[in-house]
């Protein structure tokens, strides 16, 4: 059994300490331990009360997520919660640290709650496609009211102890929770006869009856922030039951039914796959766990544009001083003022206080001289994509920055080995590809050069965690993981346009599938002119899939930046309006290239775009460019707006069944004659043996990875 509960008696108080490192989830051993310890405390006549706490930095981080979807052994959580709530002696939860999900639900079954001032609580089950099924949907609204409870459960956010006190979730804040809980229990066991139970607090439920406003607000919040997800609606139904049913146990029963529906729903599996996927991504198979990690005390950024500024904010937000260098004083002043405006915006929205802003903005310094980053532990170059320019910058950095510092490039597709080759420290050179806006987007693609050392990689993964990023390692290959897949996907969207579908139809079909933004809205946002200009400069002809986009550029339609692209935009607005005037261009280019435009179904649109992602993803995996299929999912969900509830493109393929994937690939290869749909060898092999996409093959079995010189992907970035 996993985990245990330590039992101790001091001054007539039983102290139960959950011990299941590192974060004390309620695994089978903990549930059994809790149940048996409570029986022991009840039976011991010298014990007058119980204090429940956790070992280490957590109180309890919730149910054991690895148990969902399998057979659960031992005492059930319900039995433990029942025992706790009806304990014959008063119980105080001494919340020493993290109390999430089933952890907070445990505390809500205790008579009293005292929290350490650094502790935090929350019900984040919605992030796993679940609802708080240990009574959380019934007890929390009774303490804080249905509106606040719904906000907490629909956001899944963490609530710091001081706010939890203010909301009424905890009764007291303390710096010494166990001792204070013991003193408290002695006081109340003498002065109070009936110790309070959250289940009995009905006032806020009765008050809320007949008032639709809270429910309507919750539905609007769920529609806005959790589009396509199943669990939020279930959470709302649970709270409705809490309000409308007189009997608490009837509400609990409803919660159990709705929880089971979530548990059996494919979204639950997809979202839990993501939870473990993100944690697995931070581990690099051939880098030992105990690899030394450098302490990053100061960071430098080269380039004060959008990316440089965003990356600087990430370091400052994590409390790390950061120095920005630009070659132009005006650019630098503009860049720094954008950073300040971003922080001011956060103050305006109540996300930072003025003091906090002053402190965090105070960590950002800037100048024009490379000497000023000489003492940095890491310097990240974030200038535009030009290999010669990056070579120059890295040569200068190598000269000016202390010898043991890491030199990183934010390139989205250039060859890291080539960049490393101009330095005398290739083992310290690595790609750190942030996504725009860097202070908001969670993805960090870490590009491992041929000579990047284990220490450099381990340090970058550690700093990624500190910056609150989802860091994923990619080998150095054209387009790395994300942009290489994106290339195939947008190319197929463009082919569908050539064959007869219209941009808004393609966007709507993929947005209904769950993507944040359809490909044409995205291309308009990025700018259609980037590839077109590069091709013009290089004297290259437009590839078939880019012919329509390039023709639109010839007509001065560059996308959002000048108000016209695949869509039209009104001044100052990002909302896409149809552009019927483009249709003649679509027809002309289709005809010139031998396509008879046809009606294309939404199903074909989704299949073809998503299959292009999956097939390329399988190649990326078979080359070992990504370590595992889940890493690709982490990239696509955190960087490219793939719906988390589908678990990422590779999980989606596994869920569809790889035999079905191959059948569809063959079908579209036949319809289009396009080799993009030639099933990847890895897919064929796995489908034949009935396996799923998982780990990359061993080194000796890998397909050769793409070459920067040869790749069409590289030429597009």
Q: Enumerate the active-site residues.
A: 105, 125
Smallest distance, ligand 3H9 to C-beta of residue 102, A: 3
Do the Cβ atoms of 261 and 268 come closer than 8 Å? no
Smallest distance, ligand 3H9 to C-beta of residue 628, A: 14
d(CA 81, CA 30): 12
Smallest distance, ligand 3H9 to C-beta of residue 46, A: 34
Smallest distance, ligand 3H9 to C-beta of residue 18, A: 12
Residue with smaller CB distance to ligand 3H9, 16 or 77: 77
Do the Cβ atoms of 639 and 517 come closer than 8 Å? no
C-alpha triplet 446, 448, 449: angle, nearest 5°: 140
3-class SS of residue 475: strand
Residue with smaller CB distance to ligand 3H9, 4 or 542: 4
Residue with smaller CB distance to ligand 3H9, 77 or 713: 77
Q: Which residues contact 489 (CB under 8 A, 6 or more apart)?
A: 519, 609, 610, 612, 613, 616
Residue with smaller CB distance to ligand 3H9, 105 or 415: 105
Residue with smaller CB distance to ligand 3H9, 134 or 549: 134
CA-wise closest residue to 280 among 461, 71, 457, 61: 461
Do the Cβ atoms of 315 and 361 come closer than 8 Å? no
Smallest distance, ligand 3H9 to C-beta of residue 26, A: 7
355 burial level (CB within 10 Å; 0-12, 13-18, 19+)? exposed
Smallest distance, ligand 3H9 to C-beta of residue 370, A: 35
Chain residues in the site for ligand 3H9 (CB under 6 A): 22-23, 25, 61-66, 77, 98, 100-102, 105, 124-125, 128, 130, 132-134, 136, 279
d(CA 599, CA 298): 57
Q: Count CA atoms within 13 Å of residue 694 on its CB side.
A: 8
Residue with smaller CB distance to ligand 3H9, 20 or 304: 20
Q: Which residues contact 462 (CB under 8 A, 6 or more apart)?
A: 293
* CA 216 remoteness from chain centre: 27
Residue with smaller CB distance to ligand 3H9, 271 or 676: 271
CA-wise closest residue to 19 among 7, 10, 35, 6: 6
Q: 19 — phi, psi (to 5°)? A: -130, 95
Smallest distance, ligand 3H9 to C-beta of residue 101, A: 2
Residue with smaller CB distance to ligand 3H9, 89 or 265: 265
Could you tell me which residues are beta bridge partners of residue 113?
A: 93
Residue nearest to ligand 3H9 (CB): 101
Residue with smaller CB distance to ligand 3H9, 190 or 290: 290
d(CA 363, CA 322): 6
403 burial level (CB within 10 Å; 0-12, 13-18, 19+)? exposed
Segment holding 467, helix H or strand E:
none
Smallest distance, ligand 3H9 to C-beta of residue 35, A: 15
Question: Residue 572 has which token pair?
Answer: 């100052």
Could you tell me which residues are beta bridge partners of residue 626?
A: 474
DSSP 383-450: --S-HHHHHHHHHHHHHHS-TT-EEEE--SSS-HHHHHTTSS-GGGEEEEEE-SSTTT--EEEEEE-T
Helices (H), 318-406: 329-348, 354-361, 387-400
Smallest distance, ligand 3H9 to C-beta of residue 460, A: 17
CA-wise closest residue to 86 among 15, 19, 135: 135
* Angle between helix 136-144 and 231-244 (nearest 10): 60
Smallest distance, ligand 3H9 to C-beta of residue 650, A: 19
Q: Which residues contact 342 (CB under 8 A, 6 or more apart)?
A: 309, 313, 439
Q: 464 — phi, psi (to 5°)? A: -55, -45
Smallest distance, ligand 3H9 to C-beta of residue 66, A: 5
Q: 193 — phi, psi (to 5°)? A: -90, -50
Residue with smaller CB distance to ligand 3H9, 47 or 263: 263
Q: Is the peptide bond before 22 cis (omega within 30 degrees of 0)?
A: yes
Residue with smaller CB distance to ligand 3H9, 3 or 431: 3
Question: Residue 125 has which token pair?
Answer: 């089950």
Q: 257 — phi, psi (to 5°)? A: -65, -45
Smallest distance, ligand 3H9 to C-beta of residue 404, A: 27
246 burial level (CB within 10 Å; 0-12, 13-18, 19+)? exposed
Q: Which residues contact 576 (CB under 8 A, 6 or more apart)?
A: 504, 507, 521, 524, 566, 567, 568, 569
d(CA 548, CA 498): 8
Residue with smaller CB distance to ligand 3H9, 198 or 324: 198
Residue with smaller CB distance to ligand 3H9, 23 or 302: 23
Do the Cβ atoms of 395 and 405 come closer than 8 Å? no
Smallest distance, ligand 3H9 to C-beta of residue 27, A: 7
Q: Which residues contact 252 (CB under 8 A, 6 or more apart)?
A: 135, 138
């Amino acid at each position: 059994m996993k985990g245990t509960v330590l039992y101790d008696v001091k001054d007539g108080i039983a102290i139960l300490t959950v011990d299941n490192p590192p974060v004390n989830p309620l695994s089978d051993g903990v549930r059994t331990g809790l149940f048996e310890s409570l029986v022991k405390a009840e039976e011991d006549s010298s014990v007058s009360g119980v204090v429940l706490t956790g070992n280490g930095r957590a109180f309890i981080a919730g149910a054991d997520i690895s148990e969902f979807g399998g057979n659960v052994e031992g005492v059930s959580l319900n039995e433990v919660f029942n025992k706790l709530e009806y304990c014959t002696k008063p119980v105080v939860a001494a919340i020493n640290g993290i109390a999430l999900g089933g952890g907070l639900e445990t505390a809500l079954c205790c008579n009293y709650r005292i929290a350490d001032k650094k502790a935090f609580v929350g019900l984040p089950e919605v992030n796993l496609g679940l609802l708080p099924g240990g009574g959380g949907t019934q007890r929390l609204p009774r303490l804080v009211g249905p509106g606040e409870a719904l906000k907490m459960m629909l956001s899944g956010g963490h609530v710091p102890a001081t706010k939890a006190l203010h909301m009424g979730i905890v009764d007291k804040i303390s710096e010494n929770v166990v001792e204070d809980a013991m003193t408290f229990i002695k006081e109340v066991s003498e002065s109070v006869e009936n110790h309070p139970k959250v289940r009995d607090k009905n006032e806020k439920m009765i008050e809320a009856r007949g008032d639709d406003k809270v429910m309507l607000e919750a539905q609007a919040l769920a529609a806005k922030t959790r589009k396509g997800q199943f669990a939020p609606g279930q959470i709302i139904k649970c709270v409705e039951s809490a309000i409308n049913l007189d009997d608490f146990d009837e509400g609990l029963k409803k919660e159990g039914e709705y929880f089971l529906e979530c548990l059996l729903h494919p979204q639950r599996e997809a979202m839990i796959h993501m939870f473990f996927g993100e944690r697995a991504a931070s581990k690099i198979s051939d880098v030992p766990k105990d690899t030394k990690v450098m302490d990053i005390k100061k960071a430098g950024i080269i380039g004060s544009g959008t990316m440089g500024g965003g990356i600087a904010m990430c370091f400052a937000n994590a409390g790390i001083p950061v120095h920005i260098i630009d070659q132009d004083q005006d650019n630098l002043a503009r860049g720094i003022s954008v950073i300040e405006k971003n922080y001011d915006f956060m103050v305006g929205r109540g996300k930072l206080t003025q003091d906090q802003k002053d402190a965090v903005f105070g960590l950002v310094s800037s100048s024009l001289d490379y000497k000023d980053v000489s003492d940095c532990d890491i310097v990240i170059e974030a200038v535009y994509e030009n290999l010669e320019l990056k070579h120059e910058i890295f040569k200068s950095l190598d000269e000016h920055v202390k010898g043991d510092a890491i030199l990183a490039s934010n390139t989205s597709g250039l060859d890291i080995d080539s960049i490393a080759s101009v330095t005398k420290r290739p083992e310290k050179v690595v790609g750190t590809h942030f996504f725009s806006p860097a202070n908001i987007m969670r993805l960090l693609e870490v590009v491992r050069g041929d000579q990047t050392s284990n220490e450099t990689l381990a340090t970058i993964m550690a700093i990624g965690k500190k910056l609150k990023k989802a860091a994923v390692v990619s080998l150095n290959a054209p387009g790395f993981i994300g942009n290489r897949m994106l290339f195939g996907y947008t190319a197929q969207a463009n082919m569908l346009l050539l064959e007869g579908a219209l941009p808004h139809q393609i966007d709507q079909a993929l947005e209904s599938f769950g993507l944040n933004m359809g490909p044409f809205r995205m291309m308009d946002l990025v700018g259609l002119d980037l590839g077109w200009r590069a091709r013009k400069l290089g004297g290259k002809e437009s590839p078939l899939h880019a012919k329509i986009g390039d023709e639109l550029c010839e007509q001065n339609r560059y996308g959002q930046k000048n108000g016209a692209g695949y869509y039209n935009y009104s001044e100052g607005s990002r909302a896409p309006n149809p552009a019927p005037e483009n249709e003649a261009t679509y027809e002309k280019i289709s005809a010139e290239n031998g396509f008879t435009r046809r009606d294309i179904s939404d199903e074909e649109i989704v299949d073809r775009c998503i299959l292009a992602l999956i097939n390329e993803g399988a190649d990326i995996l078979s080359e070992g460019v990504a370590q595992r299929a889940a890493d690709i999912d982490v990239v696509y969900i955190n960087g490219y707006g793939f719906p988390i509830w589908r678990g990422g493109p590779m999980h989606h393929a596994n869920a569809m069944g790889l035999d079905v994937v191959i059948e569809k690939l063959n079908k579209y290869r036949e319809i289009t004659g396009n080799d993009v749909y030639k099933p990847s060898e890895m897919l064929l092999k796995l489908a034949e043996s009935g396996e799923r996409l998982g780990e990359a093959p061993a080194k000796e079995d890998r397909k050769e990875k793409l070459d920067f010189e040869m790749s069409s992907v590289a030429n597009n970035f």
